[in-house]
Homo-oligomer: A and B are copies of this chain.
Amino acid sequence: MPERSLIFPAQEYRDRVARLQAHMDAAGMGAVLLTSAADVFYVTGFLTRFWESPARPWFIVVPSAGEPVAVIPSIGAELMGRTWMPQIRTWDAPDPRDDGVSLLAETLAGLVGPEGQIGVPMGLETQLRMPLADYAELGRKLAPRRFVDATDVVQLVREVKSEAEIARIRESCAIAGRAFDRVPEFAGAGRPLDRVFRDFQVTLLQEGADWVSYVAGGAGPDGYGDVISPAAETPLQPGDVLMLDTGAVRNGYFCDYDRNFAIGRASDAAKRAHAALWGATQSVLEALRPGHRACDVHRMLCDGLRRHGAEPGGGRLGHGLGITLTEWPSFTALDTTELREGMVLTLEPGAVLREGVIQVHEENIVLRADGPELLSPRAPSELPEIHE
């Protein structure tokens, strides 16, 4: 199974570590400690659904110079051993007396001097995947070394994708594209929404997804109320607009985009909203360039919607994408992150049709020097109708 557990040649990971180390050096960190599934996968290629179990913590230590070290439960030793990782230390987890804390402290102490700083992601969109009490104990064992925020160090590296990563995301987008093409096979008037959600997941798997980490959607007259609810058993009705959204995963890389379908004949209001969403997206596809900020995209999408006669809705209108369903930055009025060449992003405008009824539209892109390149097959400009 080596090709599936490694995902990329070892050089890809060496390059990532070198980029991390350059940022760590600039930030004065002796090492960074990574605990999340995404950060561990990014450095190692260690891909497993076993993260679904909260029982065990997993640690990757990247020193400011030299090779990274995996400090992991022994149940993962075989799989980690098939990745490029040069150093693997294990303990038998879960251990209520000491669940890897001493081994991790010893590893960090061997790499970072007593006056040194250890980076841990602490900022927006980060979470520490280890028990808080163990983190406190680790701090006591490592004192006077200090933990400092490594959010920027990690994000500045992860947010710019390599061509190998872009190819993976394009592949996930293509899988979803083939599944969206087949929606008329299983969605139509009278079909319960929860069955449509199931059939959509089945179709994504049949089209090549390794697993389906996210499906959401909604359906109602001309649009829907919210976009995060599980599906009810309510049958689709003529006049409904059905939206399906997915984060399907292939080789650890996500797509994240949606499509809308009218059930039967679409109303003029539904068609206008869809056209405005499509048009606003088109404006950004034409105008966006590296150097724009995240808040500029928010403004461009809002302006585009209003130009097409629609009222912008929703909070953020897109975000980063890659090894989690959503990554920073956020296309809001408040996010001033500079967009750089190689970022993979979603454009996700929302339009309010009336109180409690919205439509959302989403595409996935990679930002090139001369503007966006689509990774998702472009949505049709007119709202498609599903007739029996």
Contacts and interface: CB of A to CB of B under 8 A. Distances in A.
A123 interface: yes
A307 interface: no
Contact of A215 (B49, B95, B129, B230): B49
A115 interface: no
B315 A74 contact: yes
A386 B188 CA distance: 38
Given A49-B215, A206-B202, A315-B74, A55 B125 contact: yes
Interface string A152-180: 00000000000000000000000000000
Q: How many copies does the complex hold?
A: 2
A230 to B, nearest CB: 5
Contacts of A1: 229-232, 234
B125 A127 contact: no
Interface in A116-168: 120-133, 136, 149, 151
Contacts of A209: 198
A212 B316 CA distance: 28
Interface residues of A, number: 83
A373 B228 CA distance: 36
A94 interface: yes
A78 B211 contact: no
A313 to B, nearest CB: 11
A99 interface: yes
Interface in A192-216: 194, 197-198, 201-202, 205-206, 209-216
A290 interface: no
> Which 4 A-B pairs have CB atoms at the shortest separation, nearest pair first?
A1-B232, A122-B132, A122-B133, A53-B326
Interface of A: 1, 3-5, 36, 38, 47-50, 52-55, 73-76, 78-79, 82, 92-97, 99, 120-133, 136, 149, 151, 194, 197-198, 201-202, 205-206, 209-216, 225-234, 247, 314-316, 319, 324-326, 328, 330, 332, 334-335
